[in-house]
């Protein structure tokens, strides 16, 4: 990040005054054709800050090893290569033909068994008595070597979510999806209201995008969101009384090699039009950190409403709400503070201790400079101030936290004051 972009971003967030980013949805999704003429600053100003989707051409991923080795000359998945390289790896597989709440039930199997199913599915005219199975959320980077598979695009290099989990060494939010034509992902918004990016290694996808807030008009008369936005049941005005107030989705057909940027809080649904393999990352940074914090507050409120009748009789009711929240959402207020702390301390180390930009990495190997670190510190300070003031966070036992939240906030605010002229 250069200084001009940082100053522009800081001014942008001051102008929001705590409101979420995003205005009128575009009429279509922009297509970015040439890597040479599209800079990080272009992406940051045009799409990341205003929280708008875009599609990058296949030229941006032309050098990826997976596009050469995972795909046949005819553009189909190279099953032989995948079997030789990953055949014994156990992968998660969802059944697209079975609804489980607003998702699909999953099982685990060796990749070789899934590819055997996939071949049979194709030979059966894209049909199988076993159903329509979709390999989803395979943590290739965590479970196996992903060297040479892909190169993290610079546009997505400020990736706090994976930086945090890499520092802990226990998890990540980098996934492989693969499945035959007809597999799909139901209507949803990404975890923690993260950004995501998705690259088709081979095959084609159809995306349906709804900007933040539009999903409210898609709720049924019981308050639930739809499972499938292409279902004719949405035309039933008795079941979906607000449907007429929802604008048509933005539709995108993603070709092989192309890269889709999914903004924070945009609900979407995705269908594989052909046999498809994709690489997908979820990520959070200073641009959507406030969205993540807002989402976590909503999640806690939902939990509290579910168990409100036991508030006066259950010992440590507030603590139990945090436990339930973590079980349902994967994170609670305590872990969110630790997430902020890890990223904050890495940025402070760069700015205060004078660490060279090549010695602090964000995500998978992208170097951080002082302008990016300064922007990050400012965003963390603003959100942490809200966290510290939140009544439910004040009920969290922070006695063993080091540093104490108020102390960390003070450090951040001091650095913000001293780096404003950088």
- For the domain that residue 66 is a member of, what is the CATH number? 2.60.120.650
Which residue, of 283, 309, 338, is where some domain finishes? 283
For tokens 């071949």, name the residue.
119
Q: Could you tell me if 270 and 346 lie in one domain?
A: no
What does the alpha-carbon distance between residue 263 and residue 213 come to, in Å, rounded to a whole number?
13
What domain range includes position 76? 21-211+247-283
Q: What is the DSSP letter of 145?
A: -
The model carries a pTM of: 0.94
Asked if residue 57 belongs to a domain, the reply is yes
pLDDT of 23: 58
Q: Which residues pair with 27 in a beta bridge?
A: none
pLDDT of 16 reads 85
128 and 31 together in one domain: yes
Q: Note the pLDDT of residue 363.
A: 43
159 and 176 share one domain: yes
Residues 277 and 301 placed together within one structural domain of the fold: no
The mean pLDDT value of the chain amounts to: 93
Tell whether 70 and 43 lie within a shared domain. Answer: yes
- What is the pLDDT tens value at each position of the chain, 422 positions in all? 999 999 999 999 999 877 766 657 889 999 999 999 999 999 999 999 999 999 999 999 999 999 999 999 999 999 999 999 999 999 999 999 999 999 999 999 999 999 999 999 999 999 999 999 999 999 998 877 777 899 999 999 999 999 999 999 888 999 999 999 999 999 999 999 999 999 999 999 999 999 999 999 999 999 999 999 999 999 999 999 999 999 999 999 999 999 999 999 999 999 999 999 999 999 999 999 999 999 999 999 999 999 999 999 999 999 999 999 999 999 999 999 999 999 999 999 998 876 544 444 444 434 678 999 999 999 999 999 999 999 999 999 999 999 999 999 999 999 999 887 77
Q: Do residues 404 and 302 share a domain?
A: yes
In a domain, 11, yes or no: no
Q: Which of 390, 392, 385, 348 is nearest to 370 (CA)?
A: 348
Q: Which two tokens stand for residue 131?
A: 């159903």
- 147/165 same-domain check: yes
Identify whether residues 262 and 322 lie together within a single domain.
Answer: no
Angle (CA) 118 283 140, round 5°: 35
Contact 142, 113 (CB under 8 A): no
Q: Is residue 54 within 8 Å of residue 32, measured between CB atoms?
A: yes
Q: Are both 316 and 413 inside the same structural domain?
A: yes
Answer yes or no: is 87 within a domain. yes
Q: What is the pLDDT at residue 355? A: 53
- What residues are paired with 138 via a beta bridge? 176
Q: What's the structural domain count of the chain?
A: 2
The three-state secondary structure class of 220 is coil
**Is 203 among the domain residues?**
yes
- Residue that is written with structure tokens 């894209």 in the block: 126
Looking at the fold, whether 405 and 272 belong to one and the same domain comes out as: no
CA distance 288 to 382: 12
Q: Give the three-class secondary structure for 369.
A: coil
From first CA to last CA, the distance across the chain in angstroms is: 12
Q: Is residue 199 classed exposed, middle or buried when 0-12, 13-18 and 19+ CB atoms within 10 A define those classes?
A: buried
Q: Are residues 94 and 159 in the same domain?
A: yes
Instruction: Give the SS3 label for residue 43.
Output: helix
- Is the residue at 230 inside a domain? no
Please check whether residue 386 lies inside any domain of the structure. Answer: yes
Residue 301 lies in a domain: yes
Do you find a cis peptide bond into 403, omega within 30 degrees of 0? yes
The pLDDT, as a whole number, for residue 419 is 84
H/E stretch holding 200 = strand 195-202
Joined tokens for residue 192: 């923690």
Query: Which pair of tokens denotes residue 362?
Result: 């964000």
Q: Does the residue 235 lie in any domain?
A: no
- Residues 294 and 224: their CA atoms lie apart, in Å, by 20
DSSP 3-state of 270: strand
Residue 416: partners with Cβ closer than 8 Å, 6 or more residues away: 374, 377, 378, 381
* CA distance readout (Å), 258 to 51, 300, 304, 309, 380: 19, 37, 42, 50, 32
The C-alpha atoms of residue 174 and residue 198 are separated, in whole angstroms, by 10
Residue whose tokens read 């963390």: 380
DSSP, collapsed to helix, strand or coil, labels residue 54 as strand
Q: What pLDDT sits at residue 146?
A: 78
Burial degree of 8 (CB within 10 A; 0-12, 13-18, 19+): middle
CA distance 322 to 392: 9
Instruction: Please check whether residues 139 and 51 belong to one and the same domain.
Output: yes
Non-local (6+) Cβ contacts of 317 within 8 A are 307, 310, 311
For residue 198, which phi and psi values (nearest 5 degrees)? -140, 130
């Amino acid at each position: 990040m250069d200084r001009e972009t940082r100053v522009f971003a800081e001014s942008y967030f001051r102008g929001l005054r705590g409101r979420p980013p995003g205005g009128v949805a575009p009429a279509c999704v922009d297509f970015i054709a040439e890597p040479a003429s599209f800079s990080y600053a272009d992406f940051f100003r045009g799409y990341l800050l205003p929280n708008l989707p875009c599609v990058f051409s296949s030229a941006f991923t032309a050098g990826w090893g997976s596009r050469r080795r995972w795909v046949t000359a005819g553009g189909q998945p190279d099953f032989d290569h995948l079997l030789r390289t990953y055949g014994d790896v156990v992968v998660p597989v969802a059944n697209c033909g079975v609804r489980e709440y607003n998702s699909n039930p999953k099982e685990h199997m060796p990749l070789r068994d899934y590819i055997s199913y996939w071949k049979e599915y194709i030979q059966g005219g894209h049909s199988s008595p076993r159903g329509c199975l979709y390999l989803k959320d395979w943590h290739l980077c965590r479970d196996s070597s992903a060297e040479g598979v892909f190169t993290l695009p610079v546009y997505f290099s400020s990736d706090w979510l994976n930086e945090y989990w890499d520092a802990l060494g226990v998890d990540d939010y980098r996934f492989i999806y693969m499945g035959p034509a007809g597999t799909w992902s139901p209507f949803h918004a990404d975890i923690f209201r993260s950004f995501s990016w998705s690259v088709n290694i081979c095959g084609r996808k159809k995306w349906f995008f709804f900007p933040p807030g539009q999903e409210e008009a898609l709720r049924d008369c019981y308050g639930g969101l739809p499972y499938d936005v292409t279902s004719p049941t949405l035309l039933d005005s008795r079941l979906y009384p607000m449907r007429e107030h929802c604008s048509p989705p933005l539709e995108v057909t993603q070709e092989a090699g192309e890269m889709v940027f999914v903004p924070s809080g945009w609900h979407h649904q995705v269908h594989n039009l052909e046999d498809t393999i994709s690489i997908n990352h979820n990520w959070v940074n200073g641009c959507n950190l406030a969205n993540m914090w807002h989402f976590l507050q909503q999640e806690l409120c939902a939990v509290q409403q579910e168990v409100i009748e036991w508030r006066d009789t259950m010992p440590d009711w507030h603590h139990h709400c945090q436990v339930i929240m973590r079980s349902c959402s994967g994170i609670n207020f305590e872990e969110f503070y630790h997430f902020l702390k890890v990223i904050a301390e890495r940025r402070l180390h760069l700015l205060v201790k004078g660490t060279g930009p090549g010695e602090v990495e964000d995500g998978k190997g992208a170097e951080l400079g002082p302008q990016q670190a300064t922007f990050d510190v400012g965003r963390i300070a603003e959100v942490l101030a809200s966290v510290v003031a939140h009544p439910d966070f004040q009920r969290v036992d922070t006695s063993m936290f080091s540093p104490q939240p108020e102390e960390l906030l003070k450090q951040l605010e001091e650095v913000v004051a001293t780096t404003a002229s950088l």
